[in-house]
Structure 1
């Protein structure tokens, strides 16, 4: 089961995840989406790998490192989180509601699209 973390609770998840290594937020949106809206890494590393590229770039990710997946509304990131879990990643979460919820709950300066 993949943990669903609302954006307003991500800081708590990241802090708890630090016991397993430096947390990573994996943004799986497409490049044109990143250009429209993005979050700032604050206490975590942010890596951008579009969903379709995750399987071929899987070796770039450390399966022991905590990973929280992000997309537009949470659907693609949930699929990627499940994929990572299936491939042996131990500490995986989905940022529920995606960057759209991030804009509503955490940082209204992040554009909604």
Structure 2
């Protein structure tokens, strides 16, 4: 599992010459409605066990939570299921809000 800083993820998303990752936001639906990284999909962490079957294990993906710990657990689960290119966002959506998109609301 790779770990990405918010600025690294932003650069990846902005680079027109590379394949974009699937952004899997595992926060609750309420948290996702409050704020999210553009083009991310909401898959609350308790739903990932059913949802992962619909994902291509060869595509790059980044797991995002509020901070960091839950995304690591989900990323490890995906790797155990054979996903080959899984990353996590260090600091989660909160770090993204502080370092990339200061207009995004922050919450605890």
Number of the residue aligned with 2:34: 36
> What are the superposed Cα offsets for residues 67-96 of structure 1, whole Å, 9 maximum, x if unpaired?
100010011111111111111001010001
Contact 2:64 2:92 in 1 (8 A): yes
Quick one: distance in 1 between partners of 2:22 and 2:33?
Answer: 20
List runs of 5+ in structure 1 lacking aligned partners. none
Quick one: distance in 2 between partners of 1:90 and 1:17?
Answer: 17
Quick one: distance in 1 between partners of 2:22 and 2:80?
Answer: 18
What is the root-mean-square deviation of aligned Cα atoms in Å? 1.6
Quick one: distance in 1 between partners of 2:8 and 2:85?
Answer: 16
> What are the superposed Cα offsets for residues 41-72 of structure 1, whole Å, 9 maximum, x if unpaired?
3xxxx211010000111111110110100010
Q: 1:5 to 1:37 in 2, by over 3 A?
A: same
Quick one: distance in 1 between partners of 2:36 and 2:12?
Answer: 20
Q: 1:34 to 1:55 in 2, by over 3 A?
A: same
Contact 1:6 1:95 in 2 (8 A): yes
Deviation at residue 11 of structure 1 after TM alignment = 3.4
Residue 101 of structure 2 corresponds to residue 107 of structure 1: yes
Number of the residue aligned with 2:86: 92
Query: Number of residue pairs matched?
Result: 105
SS of residue in 1 equivalent to 2:82: coil
TM norm structure 2? 0.88
Residue 66 of structure 2 corresponds to residue 75 of structure 1: no
